[in-house]
Amino acid sequence: MVRKKGNPKTFRSFVEINYTINYAMGQYNSDRTKKHLLEKIEKDKSTYQKLRLRKLFKYAADALVFLGIGLVYKQISTPDKIVDSEMDPADKITLQLSDGSTKVLSGEGTTSVLDKEGIALGCKMEIN
């Protein structure tokens, strides 16, 4: 059969293809292929995680923008309150000390609070 007119050409083509297949299969390294596939899987996972993280940052940025707008609006819409710092002289402050005694501080002048030994525990001063 090999001696027929077109057969040597076909046979030579078959031998070349067979040699190429055998050579390629002989070079196959399952560990290298496994390592390559695992690297590709890890790369795909990290790409997915990066996309999830990017979406999360986008939503966090949107939330911060709205929070900032709300805070600015609140600052603008809330009027400043004036606090009356004057104290009515009739108002008095009563302190109970650790030894059980009480001390009354009036709204006028400077007063010191002393314990039984005469050590100063505090001082009330009038600021103008």
DSSP state, 111? Answer: E
pLDDT in tens, 67-108: 999 999 988 887 777 766 665 655 667 777 777 777 777 666
Residue 62 scores a pLDDT above 80: yes
Position 63 confidence tier, pLDDT thresholds 50, 70, 90: very high
Burial of 103 from C-beta contacts in 10 A (0-12 / 13-18 / 19+): middle
Q: Record the pTM.
A: 0.32
